[in-house]
């Protein structure tokens, strides 16, 4: 018998077991005891399916119809449901991407951890409680007594992921499968969870199958890396080897697409006129109520910014920082509490909705999730011309313009009569951009507009935005949580925290030489900041990293 | 929580006020003169006039309304125009059969429907699932009186297991009570099984796709616990809502079932009162029904808070 903990051999998973519709196509992988293996790939690569197949948790329609998954020599694909239930939590455990939804919302978190012991140990109730609290200590949760009795919604995302980890590791399994466990978390929280996983791995000797799409995260946690594409293994290499000497074109492309944390050179002209500015913009929630006054929350406080024609201002921050609140106030999707919003030379902050209508064509927004922001039952052409029609453009002219716009964003003009589901995520975001441009705005607000996209697609959409900006002279207000993305597209950057502006200035200065503690903390938490992925080497080996702009890929 | 309940009770007051006004106006606007009905075909105009006066029907509308509301606050719901008995007595006499039927029906339906719905969702797409759906389509589409007469013909006439009609209060002994209320309960239950099983199945199907169900399975929990502890509890909000509304519906009028089985319940009281233009009775019954709705909705909302810790009213 080999000394491997997990052996996956020629794993084939197909829709309804039909070999014509394979989604995992003959995957081989080995994990040794205590090893951390990263599975990297874009959406559709089959990385999550491989993990679910190992756990025996594949949805019914996806059938592993060939190959083998062995845990310490024991075949898992043909194991009985009873046997699998026994192995889960004791031999192998899994944590998931969305800590927000992975816990039962109506059960106390302590009870949810204890439940594992209820079925996999013969501890008494008091022993179980003691062990659960020990484990909560081990994942560094504060105030364990109180937290034990909390419900999931009372905890932050990071705390919930800690609960998940405590639950997964309480029986000391030899294998932890982590499926994008930090993707939904803020960078600083992400850094903490990654270090927690590293710490527990060393303490317990657990092997980790770590699934991610993020090369930065890979560089922080992996020992070995398997790169997947469309259900096939591209290559498997030790981390350093992979980052320095990728063997396949696919891996090279993947690495080149990683947004570098080195800010790009700012657009040269900084004397252009200001198209959008805010003065002391504030948004307060709450403070009213029928009998009992609700608590006031300052979602945005005293935000002053200025965006110039043809330039990009990034608002960077973690969840709850107020960055989206600012964007929504500027769009007047929500009403600001006080302050000014100057679009051109008009203050729209308190303008009546009726008067706003005419101003809306000057400023348009692109949202994060193009699947949900395009009406699924309308042809995309209809979605694109809706704005112009509202402003009185004749239909024929609007349709013609829609076709031009589609070509402008890199799609065929003939796509106008197709529906959103017929496009990929990246294409849908291009459509959303075309829709925003249909009324010839001066200002484009992009609210996490590339966050839901795979890195290679993300890079393309960022290029598209930059090109459109050059051609149309758009002022772009770019809201993002991703410092790498901000570094790639912004001329100026505003860092926000808890509704307040922390730091605001040229992107090169703020990201390259931050002055505020919080900005420094954000930057140092960003995964993979030591690696110059696009040049296949660490920054420490590439001379003066902070100033050298990456080559255009 | 306490503040919330007080707030809800206060909010119910204007609702009840609007209902009272609405009922009052609707009745006055529908054609038909109660005095003429009471007096009979042979009455002289003088007799009619005297009856109208006695009933206060000659007063202006707003005076009639204020008098009525004022009396309500003193606990006086008026006197039936037809029988001459106080309305409150009439209603009290009809409460027991109706509430009994509502309770037996809801309890039996929940006991059958919730497990059916859970199993149907768990075995989604299989024969069991289709069987449950078939029952639920039948329950919705076969009219209650058809089921009622079928039940009577089979269980009473042919098998002679249950009496054809009538009601015995629970005070006469549980056996007697159940024996009489069994058939009407079965009759109504089919509809409520259909309703509750369907909503249970639908919400379970949705919940079973949720991430925490996957987490529960990843912990190695047996399916029974995944279903009961993690899934069903999260479905309880829609299920409780349907149960509550179903209960209110039965109380405020299961005329057909009460007629088929000759149960002296509220539904029949209402119909008789409407046919006879017995204003005081109609007004009181409708007010009572809306009060029941308000109370049940409040109970449903309180149940939400108890069942789902995320729901907090401030």
pLDDT in tens, A173-219: 999 999 999 988 888 889 999 999 999 999 989 999 999 998 999 99
Distances (CA, A) of B314 to A305, B1, B2, B181, B307: 36, 8, 10, 43, 17
* Closest chain A residue by Cα to residue B231: A104
Identify the structural domains of chain B with CATH numbers, from first to last: 87-307 (1.10.3720.10)
Query: Which ipTM did the prediction report?
Result: 0.80
Q: Which two tokens stand for residue A203?
A: 């303490």
CB-CB under 8 Å, B222 with A85: yes
For residue A119, list chain B residues with Cβ-Cβ distance below 8 A.
219-222
What is the structure's pLDDT at B111? 96
10 Å CB burial of residue B31 (0-12, 13-18, 19+) is: exposed
CB-CB under 8 Å, A164 with B215: yes
CB-CB under 8 Å, A153 with B309: yes
What is the structure's pLDDT at B220? 92
CB-CB under 8 Å, A88 with B217: yes
Residue of B210, B221, B314 lying closest to A115 (CB–CB): B221
What is the structure's pLDDT at A549? 43
Q: 168-197 in A: which are within 8 Å (CB) of B?
A: 168
For residue B230, list chain A residues with Cβ-Cβ distance below 8 A.
104, 107
Judge whether residue A224 has pLDDT over 70.
yes
Query: How far is the alpha carbon of A102 from chain B, nearest alpha carbon, in Å?
Result: 4
For residue A89, list chain B residues with Cβ-Cβ distance below 8 A.
218-220
CA–CA dist A489, A465 (Å, integer): 9
A515 φ/ψ angles, rounded to the nearest 5 degrees: -105, -30
- CB distance from A101 to chain B under 8 Å? yes
What is the structure's pLDDT at A462? 92
CB-CB under 8 Å, A106 with B218: no
- CB distance from A288 to chain B under 8 Å? no
Q: What is the pLDDT along chain B (314 residues), one digit of tens a residue?
A: 677 778 778 888 888 888 888 888 887 777 767 677 777 777 778 877 887 777 777 788 888 888 888 888 888 888 887 788 888 888 888 888 888 899 999 999 999 999 999 999 999 989 999 999 999 999 888 888 888 888 888 888 888 888 877 788 878 888 888 888 888 899 899 999 999 999 999 999 999 989 999 999 999 999 999 998 899 989 988 999 999 988 888 887 677 888 888 888 888 888 888 888 787 888 888 888 888 888 888 888 888 888 888 876 54
Distances (CA, A) of A346 to A337, A459, B142: 18, 35, 65
CA–CA dist B253, B65 (Å, integer): 25
- CB distance from A51 to chain B under 8 Å? no
For residue A98, list chain B residues with Cβ-Cβ distance below 8 A.
211
- CB distance from A119 to chain B under 8 Å? yes
Share of chain A above pLDDT 70, in %: 95
Length of chain A, in residues:
553
Residues 6+ apart with CB under 8 A from A467: none
10 Å CB burial of residue A44 (0-12, 13-18, 19+) is: middle
Contact B279, B30 (CB under 8 A): no
10 Å CB burial of residue B92 (0-12, 13-18, 19+) is: exposed
Residue A53 — pLDDT band, cuts 50, 70, 90?
very high
B→A contacts (Cβ < 8 Å), by residue, are 3, 7, 210-212, 214-222, 225, 229-230, 233-234, 307-310, 314
For residue A99, list chain B residues with Cβ-Cβ distance below 8 A.
none
For residue A168, list chain B residues with Cβ-Cβ distance below 8 A.
218
What is the structure's pLDDT at A501? 95
For residue A93, list chain B residues with Cβ-Cβ distance below 8 A.
218
For residue B309, list chain A residues with Cβ-Cβ distance below 8 A.
105-106, 151, 153
Cβ neighbour number for residue B150 with a 10 Å cutoff: 12
Residue A480 in 3-state DSSP?
strand
Cβ neighbour number for residue B124 with a 10 Å cutoff: 14
Identify the structural domains of chain A with CATH numbers, from first to last: 6-257 (3.40.50.300), 274-286+296-541 (3.40.50.300)
Residue of B211, B307, B314 lying closest to A102 (CB–CB): B211
Nearest to B63 by CA among B32, B34, B28: B28
- CB distance from A542 to chain B under 8 Å? no
What is the structure's pLDDT at A279? 93
Judge whether residue A358 has pLDDT over 70.
yes
For residue A104, list chain B residues with Cβ-Cβ distance below 8 A.
212, 215-216, 230, 233-234
Over residues A86-97, the mean pLDDT reads 93
What is the structure's pLDDT at A547? 44
Query: How far is the alpha carbon of A126 from chain B, nearest alpha carbon, in Å?
Result: 20
Contact A35, A210 (CB under 8 A): no
Q: Which two tokens stand for residue B12?
A: 């119910």
Nearest to A152 by CA among A115, A108, A87: A108
Which of A28-42, A336-350, B73-87 shows the lowest per-residue confidence on average (mean pLDDT)?
B73-87
Nearest to A157 by CA among A217, A97, A94: A97
What is the structure's pLDDT at A543? 56
For residue B307, list chain A residues with Cβ-Cβ distance below 8 A.
106
CB-CB under 8 Å, B3 with A119: no
CA–CA dist A126, A120 (Å, integer): 15
Residue A490 — pLDDT band, cuts 50, 70, 90?
very high
- Higher model confidence: residue A269 or residue A514? A514
Residue A294 — pLDDT band, cuts 50, 70, 90?
low
Query: How far is the alpha carbon of A46 from chain B, nearest alpha carbon, in Å?
Result: 18
Tokens 């009933």 locate to B55
Residue of A86, A90, A106 lying closest to B234 (CB–CB): A106
For residue A117, list chain B residues with Cβ-Cβ distance below 8 A.
none
What is the structure's pLDDT at A288? 62
* Closest chain A residue by Cα to residue B307: A106
CB-CB under 8 Å, A101 with B219: no
Burial profile A517-539: b = 16 or more Cβ within 10 angstroms, e = fewer: ebbeebbebbbbbebbbbbbebb
Judge whether residue A61 has pLDDT over 80.
yes
pTM flag (> 0.90): no
Chain B interface test: which of A93, A98, A104, A169 (most B C-beta within 10 Å): A104
CB-CB under 8 Å, B222 with A119: yes
Residue of B7, B211, B220 lying closest to A96 (CB–CB): B211
Residues 6+ apart with CB under 8 A from A421: A376
Query: How far is the alpha carbon of B232 from chain A, nearest alpha carbon, in Å?
Result: 11
What is the structure's pLDDT at B274? 84
Query: How far is the alpha carbon of B310 from chain A, nearest alpha carbon, in Å?
Result: 7
Share of chain A above pLDDT 90, in %: 64
What is the structure's pLDDT at B193? 94
CB-CB under 8 Å, B307 with A106: yes
Length of chain B, in residues:
314
- CB distance from A376 to chain B under 8 Å? no
Chain A interface test: which of B9, B215, B231, B303 (most A C-beta within 10 Å): B215
CB-CB under 8 Å, A294 with B215: no
Mean pLDDT of chain A: 89
Query: How far is the alpha carbon of B296 from chain A, nearest alpha carbon, in Å?
Result: 23
Tokens 């795979």 locate to A454
- Say how many CB pairs under 8 Å bridge A and B: 80
Residue of B218, B221, B308 lying closest to A57 (CB–CB): B218
- CB distance from A1 to chain B under 8 Å? no
For residue A180, list chain B residues with Cβ-Cβ distance below 8 A.
none
CB-CB under 8 Å, A294 with B309: no
- CB distance from A80 to chain B under 8 Å? no
CB-CB under 8 Å, B220 with A90: yes
What is the structure's pLDDT at B11? 81
Reported as a single tens digit per residue, the pLDDT across A387-435 is 999 888 999 999 999 999 999 888 999 889 999 888 888 889 999 999 9
3-state secondary structure A327-372: HHHHCCCCCCCEEEEEECCEECCCCCHHHHHHHHHHEEEECCCHHH
């Amino acid at each position: 018998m080999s000394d491997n903990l997990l052996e996956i051999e020629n794993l084939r998973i197909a829709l309804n077991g039909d070999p014509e519709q394979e989604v995992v196509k003959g995957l081989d992988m080995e994990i040794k005891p205590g090893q951390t293996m990263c599975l990297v790939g874009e959406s559709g690569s089959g990385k999550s399916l491989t993990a679910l197949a190992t756990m025996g948790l594949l949805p019914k329609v996806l059938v592993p119809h060939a190959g083998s998954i062995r845990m310490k020599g024991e075949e898992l694909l043909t194991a009985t449901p009873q046997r699998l239930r026994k192995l889960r939590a004791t031999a192998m455990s899994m944590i998931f991407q969305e800590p927000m939804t992975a816990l039962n919302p109506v059960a106390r978190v302590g009870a949810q951890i204890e439940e594992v012991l209820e079925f996999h140990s013969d501890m008494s109730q008091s022993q179980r409680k003691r062990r659960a609290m020990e484990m909560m200590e081990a994942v560094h949760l504060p105030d364990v007594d109180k937290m034990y009795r909390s419900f999931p919604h009372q905890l932050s995302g990071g705390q919930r992921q800690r609960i998940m980890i405590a639950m997964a590791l309480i029986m000391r399994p030899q294998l932890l499968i982590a499926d994008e466990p930090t993707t939904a978390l803020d960078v600083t929280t992400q850094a903490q969870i990654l270090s927690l996983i590293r710490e527990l791995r060393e303490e317990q000797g657990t092997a980790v199958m770590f699934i991610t799409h993020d090369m930065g995260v890979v560089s922080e946690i992996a020992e070995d890396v398997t790169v997947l594409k469309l259900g096939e293994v591209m290559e498997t290499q030790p981390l350093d080897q992979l980052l320095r000497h990728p063997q396949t074109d696919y891996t090279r492309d993947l690495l080149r697409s990683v947004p570098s944390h080195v800010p790009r050179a700012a657009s040269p002209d900084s004397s252009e006129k200001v198209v959008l500015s805010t003065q002391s913009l504030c948004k307060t929630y709450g403070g009213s109520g029928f009998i009992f006054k609700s608590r006031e929350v300052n979602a945005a406080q005293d935000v002053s910014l200025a965006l110039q024609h043809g330039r990009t201002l990034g608002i960077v921050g973690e969840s709850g920082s107020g960055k989206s609140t600012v964007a929504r106030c500027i769009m007047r999707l929500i009403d600001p509490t006080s302050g000014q919003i100057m679009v051109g030379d008009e203050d729209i902050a308190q303008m009546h909705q009726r008067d706003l209508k005419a101003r809306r064509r000057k400023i348009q927004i692109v949202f994060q999730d193009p699947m949900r922001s395009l009406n699924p039952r309308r042809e995309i052409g209809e979605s694109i011309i809706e704005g112009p029609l509202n402003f009185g453009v004749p239909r024929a002219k609007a349709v013609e313009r829609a076709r031009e716009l589609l070509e402008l964003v890199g799609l065929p003009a003939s796509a106008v009569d197709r529906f959103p589901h017929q496009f990929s995520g990246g294409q849908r975001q291009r459509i959303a951009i075309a829709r925003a441009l249909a009324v010839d705005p001066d200002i484009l607000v992009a609210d996490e507009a590339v966050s839901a996209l795979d890195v290679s697609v993300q890079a393309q959409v960022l290029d598209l935005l930059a090109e459109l900006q050059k051609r149309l002279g758009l002022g772009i207000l770019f809201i993002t949580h991703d410092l790498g993305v901000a570094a790639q597209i912004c001329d100026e950057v505003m860092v926000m925290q808890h509704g307040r502006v922390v730091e605001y200035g040229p992107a090169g200065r703020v990201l390259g030489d931050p002055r505020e503690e919080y900005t420094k903390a954000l930057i140092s938490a960003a995964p993979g900041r030591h690696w110059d992925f696009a040049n296949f080497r660490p920054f420490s080996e590439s001379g003066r990293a902070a100033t050298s702009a990456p080559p255009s890929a | 929580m306490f503040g919330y309940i007080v707030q809800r009770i206060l909010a119910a007051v204007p609702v009840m006020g609007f209902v009272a006004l609405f009922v009052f106006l609707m009745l006055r606007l529908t054609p038909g003169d109660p005095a003429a009905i009471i007096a009979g075909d042979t009455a002289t105009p003088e007799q009619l006039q005297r009856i109208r006066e006695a009933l206060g029907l000659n007063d202006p509308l707003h005076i009639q309304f204020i008098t009525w509301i004022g009396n309500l606050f003193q606990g006086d719901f008026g006197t039936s125009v037809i029988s001459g008995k106080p309305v409150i007595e009439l209603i009290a006499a009809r409460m027991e059969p109706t509430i009994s039927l509502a309770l037996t029906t809801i309890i039996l339906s929940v006991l059958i429907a919730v497990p059916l719905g859970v199993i149907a969702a768990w075995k989604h797409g299989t024969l069991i699932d289709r069987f449950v759906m078939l029952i639920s389509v039948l329950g919705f589409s076969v009219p209650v009186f058809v089921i009622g007469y079928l039940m009577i013909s089979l269980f009473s006439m042919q098998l002679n297991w249950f009496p054809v009609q009538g009601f015995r209060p629970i005070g006469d002994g549980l056996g007697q009570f159940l024996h009489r209320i069994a058939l009407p309960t079965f009759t109504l239950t089919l509809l409520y099984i259909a309703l509750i099983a369907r909503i249970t199945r639908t919400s379970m199907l949705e919940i079973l796709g949720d991430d925490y169900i996957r987490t529960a399975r990843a912990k190695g929990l047996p399916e029974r616990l995944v279903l009961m502890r993690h899934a069903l509890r999260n479905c309880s909000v829609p299920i409780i809502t349907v149960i509550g509304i179903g209960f209110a519906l039965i109380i405020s009028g299961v005329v057909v079932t009460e007629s088929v089985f000759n149960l002296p319940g509220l539904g029949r009281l209402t119909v008789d009162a409407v046919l006879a233009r017995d204003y005081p009775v109609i007004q009181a019954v409708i007010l009572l029904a809306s009060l029941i709705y308000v109370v049940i909705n409040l109970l449903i909302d309180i149940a939400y808070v108890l069942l789902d810790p995320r729901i907090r009213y401030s």
